[in-house]
């Protein structure tokens, strides 16, 4: 099964509007178009929406090796606000890969290339193969 089809089964990401654009070994890129439903009371993008985008993209990158992986930790730093009509892009890059643990760096940017947030994430890799082609 290709990666895009596999990750269509992530119902929460689909509900929020996160789209997977690209997956290759140790790397993934996705997008979220900010709509009214993504806003907080201050009319800016809710931090949880940004975290969801980044976490989903870490999931795609970390599972790209065909071995089931789950997040152990994720830390987000918010750099710049965003709002309705913005398109956010997340790119996850593998920084460390071992039998059980892998680490990822994620940059979240807007449609102008401005850095909106960063995430550092660590995943646990199980001995469970998944049918995933990248």
Sheet containing strand 87-97, strands side by side: 19-24, 27-33, 87-97, 101-109, 115-129, 67-78
Summarize pLDDT for 87-97 with one digit per residue, the tens: 999 999 999 99
Asked if the model's pLDDT at residue 1 lies above 80, the reply is no
Residue 134 lies in a domain: no
Please report where in the chains the tokens 């900010």 appear, as a residue: 34
Residue 110 lies in a domain: yes
Tell me the residue range of the domain where 112 lies. Answer: 3-129
pLDDT band per the 50, 70, 90 thresholds, residue 121: very high
Residue 109 lies in a domain: yes
Summarize pLDDT for 63-81 with one digit per residue, the tens: 999 999 999 999 999 999 9
Number of folded domains that form the chain: 1
Average pLDDT of the chain? 95
Residue 43 lies in a domain: yes
List the CATH number of the domain containing 64.
3.10.129.10
pTM of the model: 0.95
Residue 88 lies in a domain: yes
Residue 47 lies in a domain: yes
Does an H or E element contain 95, and which? strand 87-97
Residue 66 lies in a domain: yes
Residue 108 lies in a domain: yes
Asked if the model's pLDDT at residue 133 lies above 80, the reply is no
pLDDT band per the 50, 70, 90 thresholds, residue 18: very high
Rg, the chain, Cα only: 14
Asked if the model's pLDDT at residue 134 lies above 80, the reply is no
């Amino acid at each position: 099964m290709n990666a895009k089809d596999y990750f269509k089964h992530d119902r929460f990401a689909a509900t929020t509007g996160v789209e997977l654009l690209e997956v290759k070994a140790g790397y993934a890129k996705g997008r979220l178009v900010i709509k009214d439903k993504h806003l907080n009371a201050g009319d800016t993008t809710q931090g949880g929406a940004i975290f969801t985008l980044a976490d989903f993209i870490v999931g795609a990158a970390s599972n790209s090796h065909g071995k089931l992986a789950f997040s152990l930790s994720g830390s987000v730093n918010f750099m710049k606000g965003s709002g309705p009509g913005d398109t956010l892009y997340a790119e996850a890059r593998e920084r460390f890969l071992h039998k059980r643990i892998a680490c990822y760096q994620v940059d979240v940017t807007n449609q102008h290339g401005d850095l909106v947030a960063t995430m550092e994430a660590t995943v646990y890799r199980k001995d469970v193969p998944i049918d995933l082609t990248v």
